[in-house]
Amino acid sequence: MGNLYGKLMHCKQLLDGHLFEGFLRKVRRWTMAEEQNVEQFKGQARLPKFAAPKRYDLFLKPDLASCTFSGSVRIALDVVGHTRFLVLNAADLAVNEGSVWFRSSSSSEEIRPAEIVAVEGDEILIIRFDRLLPRGEGVLGIGFQGTLNDKMKGFYRSTYEHKGEKKNMAVTQFEPVDARRCFPCWDEPVCKATFKITLEVPSELVALSNMPVVEEKPDGPSRIVSFEESPIMSTYLVAIVVGLFDYVEASTSDGTKVRVYCQVGKSSQGKFALDVAVKTLDLYKKYFAVPYPLPKLDMVAIPDFAAGAMENYGLVTYREKALLFDDRHSAASNKQQVAIVVAHELAHQWFGNLVTMEWWTHLWLNEGFATWVSYLAADSLFPEWNVWTQFLDETTTGFRLDALAESHPIEVDINHASEIDEIFDAISYKKGASVIRMLQSYLGAECFQKALASYIKKFAYSNAKTEDLWTVLEKESGEPVKKLMHSWTKQKGYPVLSVRVRDGNLEFEQTQFLSSGSSGVGQWIVPITLCCCSYKSQEKFLLETKSDKMNLTKLCDSFDSGKGGKFWIKVNVNQTGFYRVNYDDELASKLQYAIESHQLTATDRFGVLDDSFALSMACKQTLSSLLSLMAAYKEESEYTLLSHIITTSYKVVDVVADAAPELVDDIKTFFISLLQYPAEKLGWDPKDGESHLDAMLRGEILTALAEFGHDITINEAVKRFHAFMEDRDTSFLPPDTRKAAYVALMKTVNNSNKVGYESLLRIYRETDLSQEKARILSALASSPDPSVVLEALNFLLSSEVRNQDAVYGLAGISREGRDIAWMWLKENWEHISKTCGSGFLITRFISSIVSPFSSDEKGDEIENFFATRSKPSISRTLKQSIERVRVNAKWVKSIQSETSLGEVVEELAYRVY
Ligand code: BES
Ligand code: ZN
């Protein structure tokens, strides 16, 4: 070792770089571990790398009655450094001191540790031996016990009813860093190893893991189940499920067995997901040019589940709502969600499981890609769903978060395990997926696919960094991918392009877009596309500087600056780029004309509206001009567009209610008028053979009309609801319209007439379909009476609502219930942070309740309340939510200074009606 150190010292003299110093210090730490004590391992982001696991032989015995488990693990290691220490992860486990041993393959002697230290805060186990471990292969053995917790992470219990009896099942959820709560392990994605798992379970229960069963032996009232050894994989993808289940089964074209497991009696609800899975596996095999690597794929519905779904290798787990589809009671939107979630998790079997990120900084490689690929699959399976238009909802959510100063770069530094949960956010998923779409459309679909296939091949059974992907893409395309993409993944934010016509030129200037209206300092390499007067005439170029211009006469025949004819220019064609565009007045009014005369594609109509909304919120445009633009969509019939008009109008109504309450009625009248035509066309009853998108649209439009207090809709909803309550005939209230009816009903509920509320609770209690429960929860807090809202919020915390489901209720809090919801959050904070505090569910309590406020006073109050209550796992969400409050406050003030707003609103409400 002294030798290596000496050589490095020599190199240092040659290079004498500052960076080298740091490197050297690290090397000294690794190589001289034998001289040091346990303290050096504390407070580190990553485990020391002087031993690498190769194979885990894991035995676990869950006890579902006492909710505990015991286990033992033998880990085959490669000892690469000279060390007296082994440092690995473990948390909430009782390690049996006497059970720990190490045996080197070079000697048969078992070495016992001199000391075992569990460092709670760092979730590590330091095993100190009193002599150096021989380098080379060895085996570490550990026995341990743990609790099947109720926190939906690690090895946990989920509950269900079987024949009227309450039962427990044992389930794992390890991503990001909770495998260490089930067994001691090197719990980092880069520490890939094989897993040979054996379980001892009660004989009557189904036991599942990543791989197929190789052997089952009865053992008294138990059964010993051993599974095949897995290929090498990361710890966060290991999974185990033990409980009572039914299943449905099918095979892919090359014989991979696929099963969907769900609660006993519900197996027919698994058929849709099964069909999607089989087709998707075949599709990905072609797309990635690598077959699905495992002998089987199981997908299981878990009653208590923190995320939506989890891509464990060969054993994907889901919330029931995201996997099961019921022909009579599920809505078209539920069907689409199931398809997208399945396609997403299966994409991970390649992107994530076969090729894994090197560290959590590259999480977006997993999540951004799976999100993007899931649309590719859904588009191929269900072309009539127009999912690439719907994809813009993802982009927009990415835009919205990334317009905050408190956003973060796609590639984000992670210094502590507790910071990881929060980056499963719209930046990693939605901005990630959007910049991939941007790159794919810049490089071309074919080239992109080829490069992905060779990336998968090159890094299969290994790990990759963002840079590795760029290298492969650069090689395949010959384009400067690295330079281009670094500007999007290494800095936060995105640009807005100001575009104007000057002296026969089209001038572009980029600045960072921030919702606060300030200008950031970021600069990007922007793949600009534009079309002029028709989609036939398109241009593309890379904007590599702050500003640039191009000659318009060359670009567009119909351009004649003197006459200002009917030409129009749309920048960011079909919204494939992750940037916004701010047109000068002339270009903006021409685009409005292009929308009115039906010349723009749906994606471009979406982009124009969304950019205008964002610019208005950032006080770069008046609200009046946004509203005038919205009027251009009065003949709109496309699902995604109308859906987006609805979300936009909710936000506008909200801010106007704070800025100029006297205008709210007229604004609502205007928005109702925009929805009138499709509402009449769609009605309440499904039409024979109607499209999936019409079915989804009906639900959203009726919900919006109910939200805006449209009497005819509310009365019809209440009438239908009562008919439905009488005999539960679904033809009165088909699933697509149910949420609308529930919201409408809640608009009529107040403290002195709570019949509607009670009826909803009755349905909630009677149904065993999780989608129906979610639908009811999402309507329950939408009453205009704060005391009813309070009752609904308390219900969310009752034992009747699973912890995983409270989030649905929070999303539906009425404007009138805002203040009481904040009071409720403060009063229940202790309890909420205890019950939901250890995962990302808690961040939803903050973002849903805090973000809608719109005054600086409220911002201060929220800041004060959390001053002593913040912690690493919520601090990012908290800062973002408070920033949103301040952005809203600014927007309110700017609207108040818009002198002609009243006239514009009156005109619009009157004109269209
Ligand atoms: N890998 C995630 C699950 C996950 C999320 C684990 C957060 C740990 C923390 C999974 O692939 C996923 O992304 N699930 C999504 C569904 C998807 C369709 C967007 C989810 O849970 O919402
Ligand atoms: Zn995912």
Q: List residues near ligand 1 (CB under 6 A).
A: 175-176, 307-311, 340-341, 344-345, 348, 367, 370, 424
Q: What pLDDT score was predicted for residue 38?
A: 87
**What pLDDT shows up at residue 586?**
93
- Ligand 1 centroid to Cα of residue 371, in Å, is 10
How far apart are the C-alpha atoms of 75 and 194, rounded to whole Å? 10
Backbone angles phi, psi at 135, to 5 degrees: -75, 155
Shortest CA distance to 808 belongs to which of 757, 753, 749, 739?
739
Closest CA to 884 of 525, 445, 403: 403
Contact 102, 92 (CB under 8 A): no
Which residue lies with its CA nearest to atom 16 of ligand 1? 308
The rounded distance, in Å, linking the Cα atoms of 59 and 201 is 11
Ligand nearest to the CA of 311: 1
Distance 309 CA to ligand 1 centre (A): 5
Choose one of 321, 345, 427, 434 to mutate for the ligand 1 pocket test, by most ligand atoms within 8 angstroms of C-beta.
345
Q: Which two tokens stand for residue 343?
A: 């396609």
* Least distant ligand from the CA of 173: 1
Residue 21 is predicted with a pLDDT of: 53
Ligand whose nearest atom lies closest to the CA of 343: 1
Give the residue, by CA position, lying nearest to ligand 1 atom 2: 310
CB-neighbour burial class of residue 573 (10 A; exposed 0-12, middle 13-18, buried 19+): buried
User: What domains are there in the chain, each with its CATH number?
Assistant: 2-35 (no CATH), 41-244 (2.60.40.1730), 350-489 (1.10.390.10), 494-621 (2.60.40.1910)
Residue 307's identity, in one-letter code, is A
Is 344 annotated as ligand-binding?
Answer: yes
**Cα–Cα distance measured from residue 389 to residue 383, given in angstroms and rounded to the nearest whole number:** 11
Smallest-distance ligand from the CA of 424? 1
If you measure from the C-alpha of residue 310 to the centroid of ligand 1, how many angstroms do you get, rounded to a whole number? Answer: 6
The active-site residue out of 345, 638, 707, 883 is: 345
Burial of 399 (0-12, 13-18, 19+ CB in 10 A): buried
The residue nearest atom 3 of ligand 1, judged by CA position, is 310
Which ligand 1 atom minimizes the distance to the CA of 344?
Answer: 18
* DSSP string for 214-248: EEEEEETTEEEEEEPPPPSB-GGG--EEEE--EEE
Give the 3-state secondary structure of 412-463.
CCCCCHHHCHHHCCHHHHHHHHHHHHHHHHHHCHHHHHHHHHHHHHHHCCEE
Q: What is the DSSP string of 370-383?
A: HHHHHHHHHHHH-G
Q: How far is the CA of 478 from the centre of ligand 2 (A)?
A: 30
Query: How far is the centre of ligand 1, averaged over its atoms, from the C-alpha of 367 (Å)?
Result: 8
Ligand found nearest the CA of 365: 2
With the most atoms of ligand 1 within 8 angstroms of its CB, the residue from 305, 310, 877 to mutate is 310
Minimal-distance CA residue to ligand 1 atom 20: 308
Closest ligand 1 atom, residue 340 Cα: 18
- The residue whose C-alpha atom lies closest to atom 10 belonging to ligand 1 is 310
Radius of gyration of the chain (CA): 29
The sheet with strand 296-302 has its strands ordered as: 246-251, 257-262, 296-302, 315-319, 309-310
The residue whose CB lies within 8 Å of the most ligand 1 atoms, and thus the one to mutate among 238, 367, 387, 393, is 367
287 C-alpha to ligand 1 centroid (Å): 22
710 is in an annotated binding site: no
The 10 Å Cβ neighbour count of residue 569 is 22
CA of 428 to the centre of ligand 2 (A): 10
Which atom in ligand 1 lies closest to the alpha carbon of residue 421? Answer: 9
Question: Which candidate, 166, 185, 86, places its Cα nearest to that of 134?
Answer: 86
Phi/psi at 77 (nearest 5 deg)?
A: -120, 160
For a pocket test of ligand 1, which of 424, 808, 836 has the largest count of ligand atoms closer than 8 A to its C-beta?
A: 424
- Say whether 345 is catalytic: yes
Strands 526-532 and 569-571, bridge-based pairing? antiparallel
Closest residue by Cα to atom 6, ligand 1, is 175
The CA dihedral of 61, 62, 65, 68, to the nearest 10 degrees, is 100
* The ligand 1 atom nearest the CA atom of 367: 13
Rounded mean pLDDT for each run of 10 residues along the chain, 913 residues in total: 47 48 52 66 92 98 98 97 95 96 90 96 96 95 98 97 96 98 98 98 98 97 97 98 98 97 97 98 98 97 97 98 96 98 98 98 97 98 98 98 97 90 94 98 98 98 98 97 97 98 94 95 97 91 96 74 71 98 96 96 98 98 98 96 98 98 97 96 96 98 98 97 90 96 97 96 96 97 98 97 96 97 98 82 95 98 96 92 98 97 94 57
Closest CA to 153 of 854, 803, 715: 803
Q: Global pTM?
A: 0.95
Closest ligand 1 atom, CA of 176?
8
CB 889 within 8 A of CB 855: yes
- How many A from CA of 29 to the centre of ligand 2? 36
Residue 348 among known ligand-binding residues:
yes
- Give the pLDDT confidence score for residue 555 in this predicted structure: 76
Residue with the smallest CA separation from ligand 1 atom 15 is: 308
